[in-house]
Amino acid sequence: MNQLILSEKLSAFLKYLASHAKHKEGKLPSLNELHDKLGISVSTLREELQEARVMGLVEVKPRTGIKCLPYSFTPAVSKSLAYAVNVDRNLFHKFSDLRNHTEASYWYQAVSSLTIEDVEQLQEIIRIAKQKLSADPIQIPHVEHRRLHLTIYCKLDNIFVQGILESYWDIYEAVGLSVYEDQSYLQRVWNYHTQMVDAVANGNFLAGYQALIAHTDLLFQREQNNSKIPFE
């Protein structure tokens, strides 16, 4: 894509915002000042500012004004995915399939970048999850489930991969998959998690990958069984 076509994809305000982000200039002028600089009406600027907020590009606070944020792919994906799932709940399963393939594709790159501290954190997550599963009454380790998967991929230097993975978990709970009382299913899930983490700790990335794929198949079957639950 040449520079002209790329420029046409952005409004004058977003181009101005991007130029500030490149130079890490945090605080932006007021809307009135931007009106004078860019020649755009204040009402239009308000609309474009709201678009930028939804995309997670800026933060707007009464006392600090407009602040340019580091770029993240997650906010835009999460908003779009939330809308898509409200239109058709089955679209979550398609996104879940994308997420599963993303995890599988980046597994070796991700785990080979983990530090000893990262692995220790994964082992601690496993410990807490098993403690919850053995509690009476049982506690669903949803927070640990999210933390475990995102920690495995935390060292990937790819904000688009991170955006896909983080957005999946943002919507996962809303779809209702974080509520599941079948203890047998939960034990199987965390057995796979344990195999994954043990394999990574031992440097056996292939065994960890095989456990990941088996875990993914288990989740896919569960999502299919729950596909008729209405999304609210």
pLDDT(12) > 90:
no
In this predicted structure, which of 19-33, 99-113, 218-232 has the lowest mean pLDDT? 218-232
Q: How many CB atoms lie within 10 A of CB 160?
A: 12
Axis crossing angle, helix 42-54 with helix 31-38, rounded to the nearest 10: 110
Q: What share of the chain is helix, strand, coil (3-state, %, to 5)?
A: 70, 5, 25
What are the start-end ranges of the E strands in 11-124?
Answer: 27-28, 58-61, 65-68
Is there a contact between 55 and 76 (Cβ–Cβ < 8 Å)? yes
pTM for the model stands at: 0.83
Structure tokens at 62: 């009464």
Residue with the larger pLDDT of the pair 28 and 73? 73
Q: State how far the Cα of 207 lies from the Cα of 222, in Å rounded to an integer.
A: 23
C-alpha to C-alpha distance for 18 and 90, rounded to whole angstroms: 35
Tens-place pLDDT, residues 155-165: 999 999 999 99
- CB-count burial class (<10 Å; 0-12, 13-18, 19+) for 64: exposed
pLDDT tens figures, 165-184: 999 999 887 776 655 557 88
Burial label for 29, CB within 10 Å (0-12, 13-18, 19+), is middle
pLDDT tens, position by position, 92-150? 989 999 999 999 999 999 999 999 999 999 999 999 999 999 998 888 899 999 999 99
Q: Which two tokens stand for residue 153?
A: 């991929």
Q: What SS3 class is residue 161?
A: helix
Count the Cβ atoms, other than its own, within 10 Å of residue 94.
Answer: 11
Query: Domains in the chain, start-ordered, CATH in brackets?
Result: 10-68 (1.10.10.10), 80-225 (1.20.120.530)
Q: What pLDDT score was predicted for residue 13?
A: 87
Taking only the tens place, the pLDDT of each residue in 36-89 is: 888 899 999 999 999 999 899 998 888 778 888 889 999 999 999 999 999 998
